[in-house]
Structure 1
Amino acid sequence: MTDPSTTPSDALACCAPLAREPLTTEQAEQVSGLLKALADPVRLRLMSMVLSHADGEACVCDLTPQFDLSQPTISHHLKVLHESGLLDREKRGVWVYYRARPDAMSAMTSLFATVDGASGC
């Protein structure tokens, strides 16, 4: 995982798009924590579900029924995404709501941008 005092934008701000210049060892170590958090299929799906949910925010209670996993397991995966800096969370009553961090999404997009700005999709 990344250093808790480092935000995703901090970890990626120093990095030019990969198509422009190679990462240094230090930059690669910083970015790898974010990529490791997304490398699990459940976490990747959770991230996608949060991003595509109404208002870009989802409650753990909305996400859990979409998986054949227990609520504590889903909460663990969401915690990993939060601790990596990809998600913000807010407790409301007994539920926790998750929202993607705009700076993290922007930084990840910038990292994988091509030199001419065209996406690979």
Structure 2
Amino acid sequence: MDVNIDYHRYMPTALSLTDVSAAACCAPLAEAALERTEAETLAALLKGLADPARLQLLSIVAASEGQEACVCDLIEPIGLSQPTVSHHLKVLTEAGFLTRSKRGTWAYYRLVPEALSRMAELLQFP
């Protein structure tokens, strides 16, 4: 059965991994069974990552100097239009994987290392 979860439905405001850790009671999946709403929240965050362009953007930002990159430097490597890249960056920011700061006319995105660490902790199995 194909389940299509609209992550915006579960993220009416900027939902981050901090929210997930509170919802999941800070326990890896193998240590405590998730309630339905917790599973939906975590699935929404995973869906935020489950796109090749978003994974590629996240890896480019992570590999950039200071783990930060200007949106102007992210368009060409991805091969997508600026509005599409901006949309993907917005999804990653809303999910708490990136932060955004504006400098002049450009937006810069910085990796939130704790977000990746927290996701790894949640998905850890014995």
TM-score range, shorter chain: 0.7 to 0.9
Q: Which of 31, 46, 49 is residue 60 of structure 2 equivalent to?
A: 49
Q: Please say if residues 64 and 70 of structure 1, whose CA atoms lie closer than 8 Å, have aligned partners that are also in contact.
A: yes
Deviates more, 1:58-67 or 1:4-13: 4-13
| TM-superposed deviation, 1:6 | 3.8
- Which amino acid in the other structure matches residue 81 of structure 1? L
Please state if 1:95 is matched with 2:98. no
Question: Offset at 1:68?
Answer: 1.9
Conserved in 1, the CA contact under 8 Å of 2:15 and 2:94?
no
Q: Which residue of the partner structure matches residue 10 of structure 1?
A: 19
1:26 equivalent to 2:37? Answer yes
2:71 maps to which residue? 60
Preserved contact between residue 71 and residue 86 of structure 2 (Cα < 8 Å): yes
User: Match of 1:75?
Assistant: 86
Distance 1:20-1:5 versus aligned 2 partners, 3 A rule: same
Counterparts of 2:14 and 2:91, CA distance in 1: 15
Structure 1: runs of 5 or more not aligned? 116-121
Q: Where do 4+ consecutive residues of structure 1 move more than 6 Å?
A: none
Q: Distance in 2 between matches of 1:6 and 1:69?
A: 26
Q: CA deviation at 1:43?
A: 0.7
Displacement of 1:15 after TM fit? Answer: 4.2
Deviation at 1:111?
0.6
Distance in 1 separating the partners of 2:79 and 2:107:
20
| Structure 1 length-normalised TM | 0.83
Whether the 8 Å CA contact 2:62–2:111 is kept in 1: the answer is yes
- Alpha-carbon RMSD across the aligned residues, in angstroms, is 1.7
C-alpha separation between the residues in 1 aligned to 2:49 and 2:75?
18
Letter in 2 for 1:79: K
**CA separation in 2, counterparts of 1:7 and 1:84?**
5
How many angstroms does 1:62 deviate by?
1.2
Q: Which runs of 5+ in 2 are unaligned?
A: 1-6
Give the match's secondary structure for 1:18. Answer: coil
